[in-house]
Amino acid sequence: MTPWAARLARAAYSTLLRVGTPAYLARLWWRGRAEPPYRHALAERLAHYAERPSSGWLWLHAVSLGETRAAAALVEALRARQPGLRLLLTHGTATGREAGAALLREGDRQAWLPFDTPGGARRFLAQFRPSLGVLMETEVWPNLLREAQAAGVPMVLANARLSERSARKGERLAALMQPAAASLALVLAQTEDDARRLRAAGAPHVQVCGNLKFDLTPDAALVERGRAWRAALGRPVLLFAVSREGEEAPLLAAWSRATRGAAPRPLLVVVPRHPQRFDEVAVLLRSAGLRMARRSSWADTPPPEALAADAWLGDSMREMPLYYGLGQVALLGGSFAPLGGQNLIEAAACGCPVVMGPHTFNFAEAAELAAAAGAAQRVPDLEAGLAAAMRLLAEPAALQQAAERSRGFAAAHRGAAARIAEAIVALLPGRLTAPA
């Protein structure tokens, strides 16, 4: 690949983004109807700020809720090593920004990461002048990395992962993506396979540090609340965790057949991945003839009508430990359609065994390790997944053993936060304590 080809690819990419900026802003405004935080501080999406420029930040970008929750363990480890650091936390989604607010201390700053145009990236870096930038997992933005390199800001890709599918896509866009990967000062990969693919994609300095999500500690109070609700129900509970579009309807059809005549009939709990789909999934549950209760309709204690319901809709945010405490076994959303699966580590840490479909390419090694440890089992499709879950619910001894293996699996792989924090601190130019 020649420098000319790289320049041409980035110019074409930048032109497309500039042309698409009005549509991008319109989409954010549209999403803000259901999720008002998307309409907050829209000027930041184009890197326009009211305050004066500053400097001396450790900048960490966690695009959405999953990355932000993983970043919590890293932020804690960084503060232990740099107690006075000034944290600039950026996001791309409303759920990520809402969760990130809990990580801030006095003197920290939170902002949207701007759209990846050259001008937006330059204005962002001129506004905050970070001493070092940390991008979480897969956030490789060509213009942002190019402008960071020009501004002398070292960039780290932390908790990095790259699936085979994404690697193949990257090969088709090599003229654009390879220079971006090559500009990274350090890549801290989750697994050896991720590291191999990231090196092939052009990253020059790659280390394997493990997966930050193993270092997350579920909220014990939420887990216990979920278990208390299960006890109050007095019947088995099956959780469909972080479900995605196209998965709920086939499950409900199979559920009707699998539970016909069951006594007691298990409670089905469906927790959709995206909050904008809560109402849509509620309609699906009612259309399936199920008496449905919405988690958002009560505070700390389910009312009698909820305890008697056939299904619950998990339409609340930041309560996954509660749902994993409530469920005795979980079907893993995103794994039954070709969507790459969801993070199963939190389920394991809460002692909730997982049944997963064939599509777990976004979390390939974690899925394989969980299966090998007996914390998860793989099935070919949703109907087989439901059958496997129902068998497990019917065998208390096997269910208890699977729960214990789940907790053991989660505990055995901790330590990534400390390793990643050490690598980042080694790159810092000094203690990030004083404003400009």
Q: What six digits make up the tokens of 222? A: 């939420």
Q: Which residues contact 66 (CB under 8 A, 6 or more apart)?
A: 343
Q: Which residues contact 53 (CB under 8 A, 6 or more apart)?
A: 126, 127, 128, 129, 436
Q: What six digits make up the tokens of 195? A: 């590291």
Neighbours of 283 (CB within 10 A): 10
Asked whether the beta carbons of 346 and 327 are under 8 A apart, the reply is no
Q: Among 35, 51, 67, 98, which one carries the catalytic annotation? A: 67
Residue with tokens 């991945």: 273
Q: Is 147 a catalytic residue?
A: no
What three-state secondary structure class fits 374?
A: coil
| Order of all β-strands in the sheet with 267-272 | 292-294, 311-313, 267-272, 237-243, 329-332, 354-356, 376-378
Q: Peptide bond preceding 264: is omega within 30 degrees of 0, i.e. cis?
A: yes
| Residue 283 one-letter amino acid | V
Chain centroid offset of residue 227 CA: 24
Return d(Cα 424, Cα 58) in angstroms, integer.
10
Q: Which residues contact 81 (CB under 8 A, 6 or more apart)?
A: 421, 422, 425
Q: Are strands 206-208 and 87-91 parallel, antiparallel or unpaired?
A: unpaired
Neighbours of 96 (CB within 10 A): 25
Return d(Cα 144, Cα 14) in angstroms, integer.
11
Catalytic residue numbers, as ranges: 67
